[in-house]
């Protein structure tokens, strides 16, 4: 392990040393839909800045709770399949 950092109360990451590149595990706890738009925008802006902070060749994995609503997925007929299927 190369490092751990807590960016905010909703965003943190761990950097693991890989054989050819580092592996970054980003943990996100996004606010639910009933929270203010400002809070939601701020969290996603922090996430975007964090992802651009690391070089492109590092492997980045997003983990956590993004608070997707079941109704959204049902309304868009999402079945967990890729768009090409």
**Dmax over Cα atoms in the chain, in whole Å?**
43
pTM for the model stands at 0.69
Average pLDDT over residues 30-37: 82
pLDDT digits (tens, 9 = 90+) for 37-52: 888 888 888 888 888 8
**H or E segment and range at residue 22:** strand 22-29
Query: How far apart are the C-alpha atoms of 11 and 18, rounded to whole Å?
Result: 22
**H or E segment and range at residue 3:** strand 3-8
The ranges assigned to domains in the chain are: 3-75
The residue among 85 and 70 whose pLDDT is bigger is 70
Q: Burial level of 51, CB count in 10 A (0-12/13-18/19+)?
A: middle
- pLDDT beyond 70 at 78: no
């Amino acid at each position: 392990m190369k490092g751990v950092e807590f960016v905010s109360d909703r965003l943190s990451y761990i950097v693991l040393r890989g054989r050819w590149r580092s592996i970054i595990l980003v943990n996100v706890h996004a606010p639910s839909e009933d929270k203010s738009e400002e809070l939601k925008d701020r969290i996603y802006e922090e996430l975007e800045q964090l992802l651009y902070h690391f070089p492109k060749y590092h492997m980045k994995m997003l983990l956590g709770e993004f608070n997707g609503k079941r109704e959204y997925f049902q309304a868009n007929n999402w079945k967990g399949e890729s768009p090409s299927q």
